[in-house]
Every structure is written in structure tokens, then in C-alpha cells.
Chain A
Amino acid sequence: MKFKLILITLLLNFNLASGVEKKVDQNTIHKNLRCLVCQGQSIADSNSDFAQTIKLVVKDLIKDGKTEREIYSFMSDKYGEWIVFKPELNKHNVVLWVLPYLALIFGGVIIFILVRRRN
């Protein structure tokens, strides 16, 4: 009975949650782009000339109806992968994305073995 109650409430929760619009947010994009003339800041945080120009370009791209993905690929096409803070999932970076979870699974297996090993 309790299980069902929890399940229903969770579903209700998530129903509301998925209603959150995924429209392109200018600020999110600014935070994900690196200011290339600064030392490790994002476009959102930087006051540099470069950052201000990029903000204008992003505004135009959003107005043209580009998706977030398209904007990131536009930028990385012009400036290289390092302008985006989220590394793309390609053959170079697959290790980066996969290794943590592999480690998690590996650790879990070890614990499982240790616990299984009874004297």
C-alpha cells in the first residue's frame, strides 16, 4: 500500500517536472561558453570585449531559432572545442564520460565480492 502511494506521488511530481519548458535560455548558454581571452571564466561571468561580442552573436542565433546544440556547434566550429565547457561526446572524450561510471561499477563489484566472501 505504502509503495503504491509513493509511486503515485512520485509520478505526479515528475509529471509536473517534465512540463518545464526546454526553451533556449540565453544565460545557460553564456555559462557554457568559455571566455577565450580570460583565465578560465565563462562568457556569463566575463566583462571582456570578447565576451560582449559573443553575447550579441548568441542573441542573434537564438533569434534565428537555433537550438542550444546548434549554437554550441557553431561556436566550436569557429573557435575549437575548448570554447564549450561541456566536452562533446566523441571518440576523444568518451573515456572522460565513461570512466567515472566504470569506476563506480567496478567499486560496486568489489564490495559485492567482499561481502559475498564469507568465512
Chain B
Amino acid sequence: MSLNKDTNYSTNFLTGKKISNISLEYFDENKFYKEDDLKKNNYTLINFWASWCLPCRQEHPLLVQLSKEKNLKLLGVNFKDKKKQAETFLYNLGNPYDLLTKDELGKSSVKFGVYGIPESILVNKDLMILKKFVGPLSTEDYDSIIKIIN
């Protein structure tokens, strides 16, 4: 069940909090992506998505746009999905992610306070949450991200 834009999930309390204890499995390899890897980036947008999620298709073009930003790295978390279908999705719609990880059971996403998909979290170099987006990114969200990272 994917999330639509008009939900009343409060995200303000998360702003300012730091994320920690990250351990996301690489999509293709048996390695794990950890906090220190994230700290190398100025800003990271962690985007939770899946091939079976309709609103994810909605926001995808905006992600592709964002991938062109030099200051921002995109970390994708493929949520409760099948590898083949995820790969087809990216093949057809484009792969905006600098780094791709997967969360087949959805358990790791809970550590990020994810309700469902699509969701995105913008963090800075110190892994502090700057903003959390529940539901597909809108053009206003896109603008606010651009503003923050520049």
C-alpha cells in the first residue's frame, strides 16, 4: 500500500535529529553501507521506493533531476521489492541513484521512521535530518531541496 500526498503524518519532530546505526545492504553486493560512507557527502537524499509503487513513478522524474545536483548524493533504498522488477523499473525510468541499497523485509526502513513508500529524507554531512518527505515529492519539495543544498 503506497502513500499519497495528503496524509497527516507529522515530520517536524524529526528535523534536527541525527540518524545513526545505519546498515543498509547494497543492492548488488553482499556489502553493507554504513554511516561513515554517508558522511562523505555534503548532502544526501535517502529515497525509499519500489517497482510496485505507483506514486513512486510520479516522483521519479524529479529524482532524476535532482541527481544532476553536484552537492547532493542520492541514496536509494529499494523497499520490499524483487530484484528483477526493481532493475526493470530503473532501466525503463532511469537510475538517479548514486548508491543503491535494498531492504527486502522493510525492517531497516523502520530505523528511519518510514511509514510506507515513497518517502525521502534529506540529511547533511553530520547526518542530521534536515527534512522528511512523506509521499511522492512535489515540485515545491523539489524547490525546497534545491534551496537547502545551495
Q: So, do A and B actually touch in the complex, CB under 8 Å?
A: yes
A positions within 8 Å CB-CB of B: 36-37, 48-50, 53-54, 56-57, 60, 78-80
A49 close to B113 (CB less than 8 A): no
Query: Which residues on the B side are within 8 Å of A56 (C-beta)?
Result: 105-107
The distance in angstroms between the C-alpha atoms of A79 and B109, with both chains bound, is 12
Chain B residues whose CB sits within 8 angstroms of the CB of A80 once the complex forms: 10, 13-14
- Contact check, A78 vs B116: say whether CB atoms are below 8 A apart: no
B113/A50 in contact, CB under 8 A: no
> What are the residues of chain B within 8 A of A50 when measuring CB–CB?
1, 115-116
Chain A neighbourhood of B13, CB < 8 A:
80
* Interface contact tally, CB-CB below 8 A: 36
Docked-complex contact B107 and A48, CB < 8 angstroms: no
How distant is A72 from chain B, measured CB to nearest CB, in Å? 14
Range of interface residues on chain B?
10 to 19
Docked-complex contact A53 and B110, CB < 8 angstroms: yes
Does the CB pair B1–A78 fall under 8 Å?
Answer: no
Chain A residue numbers with a CB within 8 Å of B109 are 53
Query: What secondary structure prevails in chain B residues at the interface with A?
Result: loop
24 A-B pairs with CB atoms under 8 Å apart are A36-B9, A36-B115, A37-B3, A37-B115, A37-B116, A49-B1, A49-B80, A50-B115, A50-B116, A53-B107, A53-B109, A56-B106, A57-B107, A57-B110, A60-B107, A78-B110, A78-B111, A78-B112, A78-B113, A79-B113, A79-B115, A80-B10, A80-B13, A80-B14
Instruction: Give the 7 A-B residue pairs with the shortest CB-CB distance, closest first.
Output: A78-B113, A53-B106, A57-B110, A57-B107, A79-B113, A80-B13, A49-B1
In the assembled complex, which residues on chain A have CB atoms less than 8 Å from the CB atom of B9? Answer: 36
Q: Which residues of B contact A78 (CB under 8 A)?
A: 110-113
**What's the nearest-Cβ distance from chain B to residue A14, in Å?**
39
Q: Are A37 and B1 in contact (CB under 8 A)?
A: yes
A37 neighbours in B (Cβ, 8 Å): 1, 3, 115-116
Q: Which of B83-111 contact A (CB under 8 A)?
A: 105-107, 109-111
Most A C-beta atoms less than 10 A away, residue of B1, B3, B107, B110: B110
| Complex Cα gap A14–B105 (Å) | 44
Given A37-B115, A53-B109, 5 further pairs, Cβ under 8 A: A48-B1, A56-B105, A56-B107, A78-B111, A79-B113
The closest CB in chain B to the CB of A59 belongs to: B107
* CA–CA, A60 and B23, complex, Å: 15
List B11-29 residues whose CB lies under 8 Å from chain A: 13-14
Which chain B residues border A49 with CB–CB below 8 Å?
1, 80, 106, 116
